[in-house]
Every structure is written in structure tokens, then in C-alpha cells.
Amino acid sequence: MKKSNILSLIITLILFFDITDLYAKDFSEKNIPVQEGGRIKPLDTYARNQALAFYGKRKIKHENLSAIDWMMDLFIYPEIGLEQKIFNIRNPDIVNALGLEWTNNFHKYSYSEISPGLQNQMPLISNIIDKKEEDRDLFENQLVELYQNMMKYRQIASSLSCLLPMFTVYDPEIAEKLHIEPGQFTSYAHIMSHRGSLFNVSQNILTKSEDSWTESEREVALLLYNLQQTSLDEFAKALKIIPPAKDDTTGLWISPWELLDGREIKPHQDKIIKSMEAYLFARYEKNSSSMDDALKSYKTGVLSFPGDRVKFSILEKETWLNKANLFTLSLVFYLFGFILLGISWMVQPILFMNIAYGSLISGFILHTYGIYLRMVIMSRPPISTLYETIIFVGFVIVLLSVVIEFLRKDGLGIFIGSVSGSMLHYVGFGYAADGDTLEMLVAVLNSNFWLATHVTTIILGYGTSLMAGLIGHLYLIEKIRVPNNSSRLKSIYNNMFGVTLIALFFTLFGTILGGIWADQSWGRFWGWDPKENGALLIVLWQLMMVHMRLSGLAKPDRFALGMVLNNIVVIMAWFGVNLLSIGLHSYGFVSGVAVNIVLFTLFELFTGFGTYYWSQLNNRKTPV
Amino acid sequence: MKQEIIKILSSPKLFVYCLVWLMVLVVVGTVSQRDIGLFASQQRYFSSYIFLFGPIPLPGGRIVLALMLTNLISMMFKQNIWKMKKIGIIIVHLGGIMLLFGAGLTAIFSSEGSMVIEEGSRSNTVDDYHNTELTIINISEENYDIYTVFDQALFVSGNNLRHENLNFDITILEHMDNSTIEPIAGQSDIQYRGMLKNFSLKEISIDKDDMKNRPGIIFQVSGSFTDSDGIYGLIFGQSVPATLSINGKQYVMSIQKKKTYLPFAIELLDFKKVLHPGTQVAKSYSSRINLINDNIPRSVLIEMNKPLRHKGYTFFQASFIEGPDGEATVLAAVHNYGRLFPYISSIIMSIGLLLHLLTNLPSLLKKNRK
């Protein structure tokens, strides 16, 4: 029976080396560094986040385009991009307000479709923008969001237009002045860097009347007109891909259009825009070897930035993580494990159960690796945002399940691990849909030491507490199913009590550590802030259960019920206190959570008390 | 009898009942913060011995925690607890005793307040967050001012405030926890002096955020037998202080946050705020200060999560103010005797729990196989 375990481990490892191998490749356009949200991220992440904001998905599904390809196309063919159905509008009221037609299942609209409608609504929109955010209703919020998305989209579409090969001259003399071959296409940026050489000609044009222009003057006039048209794009400053000058102290990266505003262009910046220009041209011509050359030179340009060195290996890891979707894969393994466990109950217990265990472990390894990569990318401890707490609680529960399964070998661990692992991944995806999950932190949280100690401990506490609650559920179910199998019930009860003690250790210690952090940064150990009270409530509840057991107030059945109800306390402390939106800790607020919390509470109350009283009913029937 | 009392006091059931009541307090005290604010809720449920629920008096946080502490201590006097097998449990409970004891010390003896210092200036006073005081400054001396201070606790209607520094008496007529001023139309009472000639001072309901409350008092000045005798009003944060001129002596009166005077001074050299590039999210705040003892400055950097500790006081980077003339830092200043208790007790409790876990877990997690 060990064989199948080893087998599944080997399969997992092979899978690993296979996918990790992917990122040994050359520098690709996906890894172009962009500054957004306070950090340097790969263009791939940037593109995915934008796609998520506009389209609602991390790729353009109906055109089967990856985010990066969509964005590159948008850079090269901005006009086509304006016609692309990219804006996902889910509210029919908005569609009506824009004078568009609400189709039944495909609510995607293009920039050109939406733009006139929004123009008409401008008085309304500026009125809403003046309002405070909490005074806006859903329609108003969505309208403003759409408006802001449109503005951003327009900016992104034009952000590289100064680097597109759109201009040419045929007059050999002028071409030479501009350092191009006659008829060769070049960019706004290139011409602007040689604009001094056109000075005399343009003076002539201005002084002479239009009919007396020579052929070459006519050409220059047209060129100047076209340049003027392109320069209207200079508002497009969203894409911050160029590291600042060395003497800059703000740490702000700049966009190509900002670079062309007349400031002195540093050598590394020049190299970057020249390479980008070459890359866009090669991509336009679909010449993959020139594309590679341009990217190589681009990377050299970024590396020659004299300030903080850009860590390409980190960018590559993030791009790989985007692609690999480790948490989705991990979810698949968990679900697979659950199904296999179900099969093992029906046929062939040992074999299928072992494969199920292997599947759980494989999912767990992917899960762990995903968390590890996120830590490496952000160079900080595993948990710092609400999203990461969810991923980490999943990790803790599956880890404990793997251990318990190893000790029990009867499927109990697989069951708990696969069910809760999948559920938490699923909840996590909901949170990930809000945007970039790798966010920067506000000052008070910006402390790796305390994130690593307090936050990790308290989340370990949440995870182990939920685990104890899950075993509590199982205990009550088994009590109904096999009321007379006292040794099985006893062993599950022991597991539950053991996990409760671990949970108590982490919640108690984590809460005290939190107090110490508060003492270090705010000057008081305890302030009765909602989040502190939430954590305290879990500790108190668990202390109560342990002492009820000790004093005989709670027999095993009641203890199990108590730990099931403890789940409600955990969820309240975890998500509920944020709903009060008061106090120093309310940085994790997410609206719409309230309904889910209520549903969860009702579910736990119903199943907890239901199974408890049902098992007591059985108790009475069983002859003593 | 003695045994009986110890048995009841040390019973785990008592502990459970205390926990249940504490949980009720925590839930009520948390939810009510929405309506009455953190400070009021904390005062009512956690920092109180008894609070009233309608007409019914109920035990507040301090009573419950004191009972739990008693319970834990009495448990140590039980015979059957002192066994090697229970060593982990004993250690945990000792840690618990220390934690509650430290909490008691902090609750009774600690004080906290804030210091606002502008860049380039210095301060040696800490303003209490919540308590106020009436300050009367005699500014008629050439080389020094004479301060006379009356604590907020004395603001009780009918109370007489008298001090040898002052050549007049004060009788408190009215005290308001939160107040506002409104201009009055028409003629005012002939007795009214100062601000009250043109404005009336009105009590309004208490704000959720205690910092926004502006206490006010109305009081009678008498005994000077000059035209200055009359009724005066003062409100916290008043832009023009009230003045009194009696027999050639000039007084300035105001209500201000209760001040604590430090045996040293702090001078702010530079306040720095760093944002994550391209965002409005703050990455760090810090204050470069001079700590001045006997006119000798020592340069110190106070950062978020890196406070300055000096002579029993701790100074934290709490906030900042950006004004047209430059920046000012807001430091939180805390004086706490019990601050080491949580550190020590958490270590003790962790060791105890770990010991207990290590001795008990292996058998608990295994599947019983018979």
C-alpha cells in the first residue's frame, strides 16, 4: 500500500520539474517590468489585472487571447482596440443609461460603443464623483467605475503610440537628416529626437505661402501635421515602464510619453524606448527573431538602470506563477482526492484510498509551492492580506489533515482535507477576482517580523480551530451513524480534543503576540478594538470548552457541538468584525460578505444542533 | 469552611461562568462601539466594576477579571493539582495569573496621552487623550507666568474653586461633556461676561469619537468686588481665550487637555512620510527628534513599530499634521508599569501549553486500535 503513495509522489515531482522547467526560457515580453500599485511587476500581471478590471476575466475569452497578447495588440493597433468588445457591463440599468442594447448572455461592449453614451452622461458622472463613496448607490458606483475604466483603457491604448512606426519621408535629404532610409517607417519618439534638424525647413514652411512649397517642404509639412496629431496622445501616462533618472528620489517610474516631454533622456531610458520601438516593429512584422533581439536589448537597457536593480528572476517567477495557476491545480487535486475517496467507500477501499491520499498530498505540495512563490516575489511572510489568510487557513487545515490521515489511515484526514481545502480555494478565488492579490501594505503592517509571528500564529489558530470544528461535525455524524462503535467515537473525540489544544495554543499565543505588537506600535497592549475582541472571543470560547470538559459540564457530544459552534466564532472574528468597519484593524473590509456570514452561521447552527439532538435521540433508543 | 470556600473559588465551573459572562461583555462591548464609540464602550463594559443595564446593575469587566484571577490563584492551593503529570497545566495557569495581574496594574496605574510638535519646535508636556483641566494663567508678572490648574474632576455644579494664587473665587454653575457655542440674538443677561455676552454655551449629545467632544463649563467669578465679577463660559478648543483683569492683575483662562510635564523635552527636527511609489498608500512614517535632558540633546529616530523608551515613558509615532507652514508630528506617550507582564506571561504560558501538548498530543491524535 505504500507503493501507490510513492507512485503519486513521483508523478507529482515529475509534473513539477516539467512546469518549473518552463521558466528557464529567455526574457519575454511578459516579464517587462512595470510599476503599478507601488511595486515593480511583470507586464503579464499588469495585463491580467487590466483584463480583469475591464473584461472580468484574466484573459479575453471570447477571442481566445491571453492578457499579454491582447495588451500588445492594443499597443500596436489602438484603433482596432477601440472596436474590441472588451467592457463587461453586468448591470442592465447601466447599459440602458448608455443607450445600448442589453443582450441576453453576452454583455461585452467596445470603447466606441460606450463612449457616446458616457459623453451624454457627463453631468451625471461629475455629480457622482463629487459625492462621497459611501453615499453612492450601486448604479452610481458602477457608472463611475466604467467611466474610470474607459479613461484608463484609452490611456493604455495610446501609451506606446509614440513608439509605433507610423511616419516616413521619401525625400532623401530629409530622410538623412532624420537618420532613416527614404521610405523607412519610424516613430514619433525617433523623429522628435532629431527634430532640431528639421528646424530650418519648418521655418521656411511657416514664412512661405502654401503654393510656393517645394515637394520636400510639402512632405515635411504633412509630417509635422501628423506628428501634431500623434502628440495628442501625450495624456497616455498609465504605463510606467521606464526607470527614473539616477538622481531621482521619488522612486517613481515614468511612461514613454512622459519621457518625451522635453526632459533629458538618460542612456538607459534611451536604450529602453529604442528597444521597445524595435520590438513593436518586429511584432508588427511578425518577425520572431528580431523580437527576441529587441527584448534582449530591452533587458540590457533595464539592467543598466543605475538605481535599484530590477530583479528579473523575481519577475520571471511571478509570470510563471500567473501561468501555472498553482491554486487552481491544487483545487483540482483536492477535488480528485475527494472523488477517489468516495469511490474507495464503494469499491476497493485500500487502493483508491491510497491514490486519494496521494492526490491530497499532491494538491498540498502545489498549494505550499504557490504560497512559497508568493513569499519570494513579495519578500515578506506568507500572510498579509485577507486573501492570503484564506489561502493559508486552507494550507493549515490540509497540513493537519495529511498528518491525521498518516496517523489514522482510515480516510478521515482525506475527507476533511479535500473538502475544506477545495472550499477555501474556492472562497479564495472569489477574493482574487478583486484585482492584484499581491498588494503593498500600509505603514503599520509594514513589518516583516510581526507579520511573520503574530499574523501567522493567529491564522494558524483560525485554521486549527476550523479543523477542530470539522472533526466535531464528523464526530456528531459518526455518533448518529455508528452510535455503538465506541472505540471509533473515542478516537475521533481524542483527535478533536488534541486539535482543540493545538488551536488554543495558536489562538492564545497569537492573540498575546498581537497585543505585544500593539504595545510596540500603538503604545497599549490591549484596546478592546473589534479585531482584538474577535480574537479574544475565540480564545475565551476554547478556554470555556476545555474547562467545561474538565468540570464535567461538557461530555464528548456536547464538546463536539461546542467546537462546531466555535466555527461561527472564528468566522465572526475573521470576517465579521470587518463589517463593523470601526477600529484600527478595519483594513480588510469587503462588502457583500455579510450575507455569506449569515448563511454560514445558519448552516452551522442548523447542522450543529441538528446532528447533536439527532444523536441524543439515538442515545435514548439504544438499550443500555 | 475554609476548604469549602477554596473549593468554590477554585472550581473550574466558576471559571466557565466567568468566561461566559466575559464573552457576553466582549460581544456587547464590541457591537456597541458602532453606536457609542470605542472609548465610551470601553469605559462602560470593560473598565468598569459595575454597569447598569436599565435599572439592573451588572458586573463589569474588572469584576469578572478579578474573579477569574482569584479563581486561578485559589486553584494553586488545591492539593491534587501539584503532580508531575500536570506540570504543563500548572505553568499555563501561572502564566495566566501573571497576565491578569499585569492587566490589573496597567488598568490602575498606566496613563497615556499625545504630544504634538511642529518641526523645529520643542515640547515637554503630554496632553491626556480624554481628561481636561481649567488653566488660569496670571500674566501680569514680567519675567514669569503663574499657572493655576483645576482638574476636570472638580467641575461639579456648586463646587467652589479657590487658590491663593488667585484674588477671586470660582463657583462652577454647569459642566458639559460636549458642548457648542451659538450666537445669541438680542440683549444678554447683565451678569454675563466675556464670550457669554455674545454667545450661549449649549450642551449637545456626546460624539462617538471622544476626541471630537468639546467639554464646556459655565462658572461664576466672585469676591474681586470689581466689574469682573460675573458669569463666564469656557469651551475646549476656543480660539480666543477668556481674559480677566482684576486689581491690576491679568489672567488668561482656558480649558485644555490635562497636561503632564515631563522631566525632559523633545524637539522635532524632521518628520518624514514615505509613500509606496505611485500610490497614496503610506509605506512609513518617522520623526527625527532631539531628546533633551538637562539641555543636552540626543538624536533619536522614532518610527512606526519602533518607539522611543525613556525614563518610564514610551513615545510612539502615532500620526502627523500637514499644515501650510510645515509638518507636525503626533507622538503617543504612554507611562505603564505593567507593560512587561504580557511579555513574560506569554512566554510562560507558551512553555506550559507546549509541555502539555507534547506530553498529550501523540496519544490524542492516534487512532485507537483495539
Listed as own residue / partner, the contacts of B296-302 with beta carbons closer than 8 Å and 24 or more positions apart are B297/B267, B299/B269, B302/B329, B302/B331
Report percent pLDDT > 70 for chain B.
Answer: 99
Residue of A nearest to B319 (CA): A522
How many other C-beta atoms lie within 10 A of the C-beta of residue B124? 15
Do both B193 and B247 map to the same domain?
Answer: yes
How far apart CA B186 and CA B183 sit, in angstroms, is: 10
More confident site: A502 or A586? A502
CA distance A272 to A300: 8
Is there a single domain that holds both residue B67 and residue B118?
no
**B81 interface with A at CB cutoff 8 Å:** no
Residue B80 has pLDDT above 70, yes or no: yes
Contacts of B343 in chain A (CB under 8 A): 516
Summary mean pLDDT of chain B: 85
Q: How far apart are CA B190 and CA B204, in angstroms?
A: 25
d(CA A533, CA B28): 11
Among A409, A528, A551, beta carbon nearest to B16: A551
Q: How confident is the model at residue B198 (pLDDT cuts 50, 70, 90)?
A: confident
The reply to whether B153 and B93 lie within a common domain is no
How large is the average pLDDT for residues A446-460? 83
For chain B, what is the total number of helices (H) and then of strands (E)?
A: 6, 18
Amino acid making up residue A98:
L
- Provide the whole-model pTM: 0.80
Alpha helices in A121-214 (DSSP H): 122-130, 138-158, 172-177, 188-193, 199-207
pLDDT at residue A15, as a whole number: 55
Segment A490-512 shows an average pLDDT of: 91
Angstrom CA distances, A331 to A351, A361, A423, B153, B250, stand at 22, 12, 9, 63, 79
What pLDDT sits at residue A590? 45
pLDDT for the residue A587? 41
Residue B172 lies in a domain: yes
* Closest Cβ opposite residue B316 in set A504, A523, A526: A523
Question: Is some CB atom of chain A closer than 8 A to the CB atom of B275?
Answer: yes
The parent domain of residue B238 ranges over 129-258
**DSSP annotation string for A361-378:** HHHHHHHHHHHHHHHHHH
CA atoms within 13 A on the CB side of A519: 23
Per-residue pLDDT, averaged over A537-544, amounts to 94
> Does B344 fall in a domain?
yes
pLDDT at B369: 46
Band of the pLDDT at A610, cuts 50, 70, 90? very high
Query: How far from A30 is each of A47, A154, A283, CA to CA, in Å?
Result: 9, 21, 14
Sign of the C-alpha dihedral, residues A36, A41, A47, A50? negative
pLDDT of residue A366: 93
Predicted confidence at residue A25, as pLDDT, reads 57
Residues 305-334 of B with CB under 8 A from A: 305-307, 314, 316, 318, 332-334
Note whether B316 contacts A548, CB cutoff 8 Å: no
pLDDT at B345 over 70: yes
For A210-231, letters b (16+ CB in 10 Å) and e give eeeeeebbebbbebbeebeebe
Last residue of a domain, one of B241, B258, B275: B258
Whether residue B323 is found in the same domain as residue B359: no
Q: Nearest chain B Cα to A515, which residue?
A: B342
A262-301 confidence digits (pLDDT tens): 788 888 888 998 999 999 999 888 888 888 899 889 888 8
Residue A45 has pLDDT above 80, yes or no: yes
Domain ranges of chain A: 33-162, 163-232+239-310, 488-624
What share of residues in chain A are helix, strand, coil (percent, to 5)? 75, 5, 25
Statement: residue A2 has pLDDT above 70: no
Over range A2-11, report the average pLDDT.
56
Query: What pLDDT was estimated at residue A580?
Result: 66
Average pLDDT, integer, range B210-224? 84
Kindly state whether residues B13 and B93 are assigned to the same domain: yes
Q: Based on the domain organization, do B196 and B244 belong to the same domain? A: yes
- Yes or no, beta carbons of A534 and B30 under 8 Å apart: yes
Residues B219 and B298 in one domain: no
Q: Is B370 within the bounds of a domain?
A: no
Q: Reply yes or no on whether the pLDDT at A184 is more than 70.
A: yes
**Per-residue pLDDT tens digits for B156-178:** 888 888 888 888 888 888 888 88
**Same-domain status, B302 and B322:** yes
> What is the largest distance, in Å, between two alpha-carbon atoms of chain A?
117
Q: What is the dihedral of CA A523, A528, A531, A532, to 10 degrees?
A: 70
pLDDT at res. A6: 59
Single-letter code of the amino acid located at A84: Q
- Residue in B136, B143, B61 with CA at minimum distance from that of residue B103: B61
- Mean pLDDT for the stretch of residues B254-275: 89
Claim to verify: residue B135 and residue B254 sit in the same structural domain: yes
Cβ-Cβ contacts under 8 Å for A116 (sequence gap 6 or more):
A99
> How does pLDDT run across A140-171, given as a tens digit for each residue?
888 888 888 888 998 899 999 889 888 888 88
Give the pLDDT mean for A14-38.
Answer: 69
Residue A584 has a pLDDT of 45
At A624, the pLDDT band (50, 70, 90 cuts) reads very low
- Domain endpoint, select from B258, B273, B293: B258
User: In this complex, is the C-beta atom of A478 within 8 Å of any C-beta atom belonging to chain B?
Assistant: no
Contact assessment for residue B119 and residue B94, using Cβ atoms and an 8 Å cutoff? no
Phi and psi, residue B295, nearest 5°: 65, 10
Per-chain mean pLDDT for chain A: 84
CA A326 to CA A429: how far, in whole Å?
Answer: 12
Q: What is the pLDDT of residues A199-228, one digit of tens each?
A: 777 787 878 877 878 888 888 888 888 888
- Give helix then strand counts, H and E, for chain A: 27, 6
Chain A from 400 to 459: CB within 8 A of any B CB? 403-404, 407-410, 440-444, 446-447, 450
Mean pLDDT score, A70-92: 88
Q: How sure is the predictor about A313, in pLDDT bands with cuts at 50, 70 and 90?
A: confident
Q: Between A336 and A129, whose confidence is greater?
A: A336
Q: Which residues of B touch A527 (CB under 8 A)?
A: 38, 42
Same domain, B266 and B118: yes
Backbone angles phi, psi at A380, to 5 degrees: -150, 170
Res. A3 pLDDT band, cuts 50 70 90: low
Rounded to an integer, the average pLDDT of B241-264 is 86
Q: Answer whether B339's CB lies under 8 Å from B325's CB.
A: no
Per the CB < 8 Å rule, is A547 touching B16? yes
CB contact under 8 A, B353 and A544: no
B267 lies in the same domain as B233: no
CA pseudo-torsion sign A595, A601, A605, A607? positive
- CB-CB under 8 Å, B360 with A491: no
Distance from CA of B95 to the nearest CA of A (A): 12
The structural domain count of chain B equals 3
Q: What is the pLDDT of residue A168?
A: 86
Chain B stretch 86-105, residues whose beta carbon is closer than 8 A to a beta carbon of chain A: 99, 103
CA–CA gap between residue A511 and residue A528 (Å, rounded): 12
Quote the minimal CA–CA distance from A582 to chain B in Å.
7
- What percent of chain A has pLDDT above 70? 91
**B149, B267: one domain:** no
Q: How far apart are CA A195 and CA A94, in angstroms?
A: 46
Which has more confidence, B226 or A335?
A335
The pLDDT value given to residue A568: 94
Cα(A459)–Cα(A403) distance, integer angstroms:
18
Q: Read off the pLDDT band of A585 (50, 70, 90).
A: very low
